[in-house]
Structure 1
Amino acid sequence: MGRILTAFIGYRGLAALSFIAVPLVVIFSIWGIVSAVNYSGSWHNLLTFHPTGDPMTIFAGITIVVGNAALGAVVFPDVTRYAKGAVSGGIGASVGYFLGGVFCLVAGAAMAIAANVPDIGSTPNIPAAMSKLGLGFLAFFIIVFAQWTTNDNNLYTGSLGLRNVVNIPKKALVAIMGVIGIIIALLGVQNMFVPFLTFLGLYVPPIAGVMIADHWITAPVIKKKQYQFGAGTTYSKLNFVAILSVIIGGFTASKITFGIGPINSTVLAFLIYIIFTFIFTKLNLHYEIGEVTEESSGF
């Protein structure tokens, strides 16, 4: 319920929580790595660990990793729009997301390897690993904060995106989507976590491909208009060419047996969107339906 509350408050709620949670997560990550090394006996034992179970190709692993991060990258504009400047906001978000994300992943992997406890479905059981390493309740409390900061951002950006499609107040969307998320979690979604990440790794990156094409190619070159955004800007409510490009890009990439799936799907969607937009524009065919005016994102 905490994630619903901070997302309901808006950007100020997200910022206030992050000022508390991020330092705690850094402390916990260092604590977890030290505990994992001590439990294993040495760094060498951790680095020479041989995993069990079915092997995974490097490309499948890349797709899963990208699936875990792709959605966050796509919605970055919603989180960084209040930065003091484009450069500082971009650098701060990228460095924080990359360095912080990698550090936390390394800490989680170290703890999971050292404890070697059974997974929950296809998801590593980090709380059980923490318990076996003797980290105690304080570490569990910090993990709750870490999940809180992730999920409230997801809920915040999700409600902003959905608000452009359905005529429901953003705060109501936050409450509805938050409750749906809780229900999905109670139904055991962790058992399908890896397949879900694979799906995201193929179908979320194409969204970025469409966004890049729309910003740099279709708007200024094909449509001959200045790209605008921000509160008060009017957009089309549904862009069927964009939706179709994402679906075709993701589906085609899932059938290609070479290269890296997320990169393939992004490039395909980028090219497909440009080609379709050019054809529809030249034929004077409408592919955008309805209008929506962007509101303030601070809630």
Structure 2
Amino acid sequence: MSTHDEFPLSEAPQHARKGFMPIAMVLFSFTFFTGTMFAGGKLGMAFDFTDMLWIAAIGNSLLALYAAALALIASRSGLNTVLMGRFCFGESGSRLSDFLLGFAELGWYAWGTATVAIVLVKILGLASDFTVPLMVLFGLGFSLTAIVGFKGLDLLSRVSVPLMFVLLVVSMVIATRQAGGLSGLLAVVPHESMTFSAAVTMVFGTFASGATQATNWTRLSRSGRVAVAASVVSFLVGNGLMVVAGAWCAMVYQQADIVEVMILQGLSFAAVVMLCLNLWTIQGPTIYNVAAASCHLLRSERRRTATLVAAAVGIVLAIGGMYEMLIPFLVLLGSIIPPVGGVIMADFWYRHRGQYPTLASVRLPRYNLLGLLAYAAGALLACLSPWVAPLVGIATSALCYIVLLQLSGRRQALATEAAQ
């Protein structure tokens, strides 16, 4: 790519831009995530077939629109989310987004690392003493693809995404036959309960952090149209399929764990292959995102070193019990991550009129208190809201930022008039 190691601290230049297929394939590999199927399984246990489809459609449509909105800004500016954060949060204040996004992706990395180790021990009948060594092995192994960079992610996605798609379809067909066809699925009565808003929040939360950080790749898009199209297709179809597949199978087998479902279907070997290949596919982009946030946090160009350090921290979290924290983690992400995107969108379109200056040409304040206050308001209301938390967070943070900019502009105008 570049001697600057994929431009972690600057705009992506035009010569590094790519077309629809490379961007879409990397994003597809990003959204084809086993963890999303676990979350979908929770929907299948709590809602009937029709309601589950509606929730999946609404949640993933909102997620795709959010990802596309940030992708358009990324393509126009050549910046990823943590670099955009400099404009709306300030040079030092942007470390808030570095920390939040790095924390979110590191949590996912730890969960994925723990999951593959725990499930392999279970499926292969290994002694429990193998769990921690496997976490260390996979935690380091997963990081290798990210160290290679975009080319490594693109190559792996072209193999894993088609295989994952075929396996999902086969599993859903077997589940449908087991249920007695579509009529059998429609007759399934849910055994657990969940509110509509919590369900949509969970669907959005499965990839709230991913949608916010997908700008690491959409900024490499050749045009805004490519960025938007790749984001909508990959998040709506990719993430949507994972949610629906997980829920679909959970309704039949009353089991939210998709790996356990495949074992019940006689697909034990396929389950092992799917888990390893799928998690390897997603863990690469995940730790890549952590490294990008870390580079910006430390103002360092050493992405490969940051990747290895982040992987080590992820292994520690995996050993510490991240596997058990998936659903609370998703709900938290659905509340605290989307307000970051809300402030960025308001800053780009309202304050900068759709055109950032280059980072090298502008001197930014250390802290943009208006952006930080707007984020805090959005995150707080999202956490407290009984409605769909991600939407509340995005709308509140964007609206608060615009109002604060207006009030600040009026105050400056009055001060100027008084001075005259």
Report the TM range for the smaller structure's normalisation: 0.7 to 0.9
Q: 1:252 aligns with which of 361, 378, 381?
A: 381
> Which residue type is aligned with residue 267 of structure 1?
A
Distance, in Å, in 2 between the alignment partners of 1:240 and 1:149 is 38
Distance, in Å, in 2 between the alignment partners of 1:110 and 1:132 is 14
Change (3 A) 1:66 1:235: farther
Alignment of 1:102-141 (within 5 A): 102-117=240-255, 124-141=256-273
Distance, in Å, in 2 between the alignment partners of 1:48 and 1:89 is 41
The Cα of 1:182 is off from its aligned counterpart by 2.5
Give the gaps of 5 or more residues in structure 2.
1-139, 413-420
- Taking only the aligned residue pairs, the percentage that are identical comes to 27
The Cα of 1:20 is off from its aligned counterpart by 0.8
The Cα of 1:283 is off from its aligned counterpart by 6.1
The Cα of 1:278 is off from its aligned counterpart by 4.5
The Cα of 1:215 is off from its aligned counterpart by 0.8
Q: Does 1:59 align with 2:197?
A: yes
Distance, in Å, in 1 between the alignment partners of 2:162 and 2:290 is 25
Alignment of 1:200-219 (within 5 A): 200-219=333-352
Q: Does 1:86 align with 2:224?
A: yes
Alignment of 1:256-267 (within 5 A): 256-257=385-386, 259-267=387-395
> Which residue type is aligned with residue 112 of structure 1?
A
TM-score (norm 2): 0.59
The Cα of 1:239 is off from its aligned counterpart by 4.3
Which residue in the other structure is 2:322 paired with? Answer: 189
> Which residue type is aligned with residue 317 of structure 2?
I
Q: Which has the higher contact order (CA 8 A, sep 6+)?
A: 2
Q: Does 1:268 align with 2:396?
A: yes
> Which residue type is aligned with residue 171 of structure 2?
G
Distance, in Å, in 1 between the alignment partners of 2:220 and 2:371 is 26
> Which residue type is aligned with residue 339 of structure 2?
P
- 1:164 partner SS: helix
Change (3 A) 1:134 1:210: same
The Cα of 1:130 is off from its aligned counterpart by 1.0
Q: 1:42 aligns with which of 156, 163, 181?
A: 181
Structure showing the higher helix proportion among its residues: 2
Distance, in Å, in 2 between the alignment partners of 1:211 and 1:235 is 18
Q: 2:209 aligns with which of 71, 90, 106?
A: 71
Deviation string, structure 1 residues 20-74 (Cα, Å, up to 9, x no partner): 1111111111111012112323222223322223x21101111111111211221
Moved more, 185-194 or 29-38: 185-194
Mapped contact 1:39–1:133 kept (Cα < 8 A): no
Change (3 A) 1:104 1:280: same
Structure showing the higher strand proportion among its residues: 1
Which residue in the other structure is 1:24 paired with? Answer: 163
Change (3 A) 1:210 1:161: same
- 2:353 partner SS: helix
Distance, in Å, in 1 between the alignment partners of 2:307 and 2:407 is 38
Change (3 A) 1:139 1:253: closer
- 2:188 partner SS: coil
Q: Does 1:175 align with 2:308?
A: yes
Q: Does 1:243 align with 2:243?
A: no
Deviation string, structure 1 residues 58-91 (Cα, Å, up to 9, x no partner): 0111111111121122122212222232212320
> Which residue type is aligned with residue 320 of structure 2?
L
Mapped contact 1:25–1:146 kept (Cα < 8 A): yes
Deviation string, structure 1 residues 85-116 (Cα, Å, up to 9, x no partner): 22123202311221122122222222223233
Mapped contact 2:221–2:227 kept (Cα < 8 A): yes
Give the gaps of 5 or more residues in structure 1.
118-123, 285-299
Change (3 A) 1:241 1:99: same
The Cα of 1:271 is off from its aligned counterpart by 1.6
Cα RMSD (Å) = 2.4
